[in-house]
Amino acid sequence: MYEGKIIKFYREKAKITQEQLGQGICSVTHISKIERGLTEYSPEITMLLAQKLSINLEEEAASLKNVKKKLDQWKEMIISQDYSSATTVYHEFQTNEMIAISGYHLYYLLLKAIYYLKQNSVDNAVELIDFLDKKRNKLNNYEENLLQHVKGIYYMTIDEHLKSIDLLKSINFDMYSNAMVYYDLAAAYHHIHSPVLAYYYGEKALNAYKQRNYFLGVIDTENLMLIEVESGQHRNFKETKEQYDELIRLCDLCNSPEKKAKILHNYAYEHLKRKKYREAGKLYKASMDLKQQKSNIYLLSLEGYVRCGNEGGFIAKEALLALVEEGLAVATEIGDPLYQHVFWLHYYTILDLEEKYYFYLTKKALPYFKEHGFFVTMQRYERELFNYYLKNNQLQKAVETADYIINKDESTLLV
C-alpha cells in the first residue's frame, strides 16, 4: 500500500527519473504503476529499487503506517496540556518529510495550528489557517469540524469572542468532541459575561477531563466554573475559600506553578472584592513570586498588590511608589502601554494628585483603553470618573460616563 508512495517520494527527492531508477531492474511503465499503486509487484523488485535509493523500505513503511496513531497521540498531549511531550513530537514531525504522503497531511496541519495557538504563536497559526481554508474541499468531516475549532481558538486569542462562539457552536459534537473544545467554548462565553452558558460548557469539559484523568484541564475548568459561580456574589465565602484551597492543593500535586499562580491571583481578587485587603495582598504577592517578572501577567498581579496596599493602607507610601516604579520599568521594557498607563494612575493616586490623576485618566489612559479594546479596565476607571463628576456636580459628564458602565462587571480574573 505504502511502498509505491515511498519509492516515488525518495526517487523525486534524489532527483532521478523513473527510467534512471528502473535501469537494470524493470521498465519505466512498471515503475510508474508501482508508484501509483496500480500493479502487483514482487518483493525482489521493490527491494532492488529500495537498495538503489539507499532506503530501508520495511522501516519506512512501518513509520508511515504509524503516522495516524502518532498524530492522535499528539492531539491528546495538547488536550492534556502535556506541552513538554507535545513539543518533542512537534519537532519529530517537523523533520518527518514523509508526512506529506501519509494521507494525513491536512490533519497534521490542523493539529499544528492548534499547537501554535496554545503556545501563543499566533502568526504561525494564521498562515496555516489561511492555507487550510483554501483546502476545505479536501477535508473530511472530522477535519472540517477540527478546522472550526482551530478558527474558534484563533478568534478568542484576538478577543473576538462572539465570532469565536459562532464557530465553536457550528461544530458537530457527535462527530467531533473533546474536553478542550468544551473548555474553549466555556471560556468564550466567560469573556462575553454569559455565566450560565460558561458554566454549562464548563461542566461538559470537566467531565471529559476527569474521564481521561487530565488534571491540568480539571484545574483550569474548575477555576473557570468557580469564577462563574462567584459572579453572582450571593455565595458563602467559606465555600469559595474551600474550593480555592483545594485547587491550590491540586496545583501542588500536579507540580504546576503556572496554574497555581493563576489560581492565587483569582483567589486574591475574590478577597479584594470583599475589601479584605491584607489577605488579598498576600495572595497577589504569592502569585507574583511564581511568575516571570518581565511579563504582563506579573504586572497584573503587581497592580493588584499595589491597589490592595494603597486601599488597605498596609504598605507605606515610599514602598508603594517603589512598586509603581518597578511596574513602570517592567511595562516599558516589555513594551506594554496598558500597564504603563495603569501604573501612572497609581502614581498620581498614591501622591494624592487628584487634578493630575483625572487629567491623565481622561486625556491619555481612557482613550487608550477604549481604542485598544481594554473594556474591563475601562469600566473600572469609568466608575471612578462617574463618581468624580457627581462629586463635582458635573451631571452631564456623569450621565455620559454612565453609558459605559451600566450593567457591566469589573473583572481581573484569569481563565
Q: What was the pLDDT predicted at 232?
A: 59
pLDDT at 411 over 60: no
HEC string of the chain? CCHHHHHHHHHHHHCCCHHHHHCCCCCHHHHHHHHHCCCCCCHHHHHHHHHHHCCCHHHHHHHHHCHHHHHHHHHHHHHCCCHHHHHHHHHHHHCCHHHHHCCCHHHHHHHHHHHHHHCCCHHHHHHHHHHHHHCHHHCCHHHHHHHHHHHHHHHHHCCCHHHHHHHHHCCCCCCCCCHHHHHHHHHHHHHCCCHHHHHHHHHHHHHHHHHCCCHHHHHHHHHHHHHHHHCCCCCCHHHHHHHHHHHHHHHHHCCCHHHHHHHHHHHHHHHHHCCCHHHHHHHHHHHHHCCCCCCHHHHHHHHHHHHHHHHHCCCCHHHHHHHHHHHHHHHHHCCCHHHHHHHHHHHHHHCCCHHHHHHHHHHHHHHHHHHCCCHHHHHHHHHHHHHHHHHCCCHHHHHHHHHHHCCCCCCCCCC
Of 25-29, 150-154, 235-239, the range with the lowest mean pLDDT is: 235-239
Last residue of a domain, one of 125, 149, 176: 176
- Answer whether 294's CB lies under 8 Å from 333's CB: yes
Q: Which residue has the cell 503556545?
A: 119
Please tell me whether residues 74 and 14 are part of one structural domain. Answer: no
Please tell me whether residues 52 and 101 are part of one structural domain. Answer: no
Please tell me whether residues 172 and 70 are part of one structural domain. Answer: yes
d(CA 131, CA 134): 5
Please tell me whether residues 60 and 77 are part of one structural domain. Answer: no
Burial class of residue 6, CB neighbours in 10 A (0-12, 13-18, 19+):
buried
CATH code of 100's domain? 1.25.40.10
Please tell me whether residues 53 and 108 are part of one structural domain. Answer: no
Last residue of a domain, one of 126, 153, 176: 176
Q: What was the pLDDT predicted at 102?
A: 87
pLDDT at 308 over 80: yes
Q: What is the pLDDT of residues 323-361, one digit of tens each?
A: 999 999 999 999 999 999 999 999 999 999 999 999 999
Of 76-85, 129-138, 221-230, the range with the lowest mean pLDDT is: 221-230
Say what angle helices 3-14 and 28-36 make with each other, to 10 degrees. Answer: 120
Instruction: Round the average pLDDT of the chain to a whole number and report it.
Output: 91
Is residue 76, in this structure, part of any structural domain at all?
yes
Residues 6+ apart with CB under 8 A from 56: 50
Task: Give the total residue count for the chain.
Answer: 415
d(CA 125, CA 347): 39
pLDDT at 406 over 60: no
Q: What was the pLDDT predicted at 72?
A: 96
Q: Which residue has the cell 527510467?
A: 19
Q: What was the pLDDT predicted at 233?
A: 57
Q: What was the pLDDT predicted at 386?
A: 84
Is residue 386, in this structure, part of any structural domain at all?
yes
Q: What is the pLDDT of residues 98-132, one digit of tens each?
A: 898 888 999 999 999 999 999 999 999 999 999 99
Domains held by the chain: number: 3
- Answer whether 157's CB lies under 8 Å from 117's CB: yes
Residue whose C-alpha is closest to residue 328's, from 306, 353, 313: 306
Is residue 59, in this structure, part of any structural domain at all?
yes
Please tell me whether residues 122 and 34 are part of one structural domain. Answer: no
d(CA 378, CA 304): 16
- Answer whether 346's CB lies under 8 Å from 358's CB: no
Does the predicted TM-score (pTM) go above 0.85?
A: no
Please tell me whether residues 166 and 71 are part of one structural domain. Answer: yes
What angle (nearest 5°) sits at the alpha carbon of residue 328, between those of residues 322 and 331?
140
Of 55-69, 137-151, 221-235, the range with the lowest mean pLDDT is: 221-235
Is residue 85, in this structure, part of any structural domain at all?
yes
Please tell me whether residues 8 and 32 are part of one structural domain. Answer: yes
- Answer whether 288's CB lies under 8 Å from 267's CB: no
Q: What is the pLDDT of residues 222-263, one digit of tens each?
A: 999 999 887 655 668 898 999 999 999 999 999 999 999 999
Please tell me whether residues 97 and 21 are part of one structural domain. Answer: no
Average pLDDT over every residue of 393-398: 76
Q: What was the pLDDT predicted at 187?
A: 96
Please tell me whether residues 11 and 105 are part of one structural domain. Answer: no
Is residue 251, in this structure, part of any structural domain at all?
no
Is residue 138, in this structure, part of any structural domain at all?
yes
Is residue 162, in this structure, part of any structural domain at all?
yes
> Which amino acid is residue 134, in one-letter code?
K
In which domain, by residue range, is 382 found? 370-415
Distances (CA, A) of 273 to 75, 77, 237: 39, 37, 11
Burial class of residue 253, CB neighbours in 10 A (0-12, 13-18, 19+):
exposed
Burial class of residue 123, CB neighbours in 10 A (0-12, 13-18, 19+):
exposed
Q: What was the pLDDT predicted at 133?
A: 96
Please tell me whether residues 75 and 148 are part of one structural domain. Answer: yes
Is residue 135, in this structure, part of any structural domain at all?
yes
CATH code of 16's domain? 1.10.260.40
Please tell me whether residues 60 and 88 are part of one structural domain. Answer: no
Q: Which residue has the cell 508512495?
A: 5
Last residue of a domain, one of 11, 32, 64: 64
Cell of 69: 496513531
> Which amino acid is residue 30, in one-letter code?
H
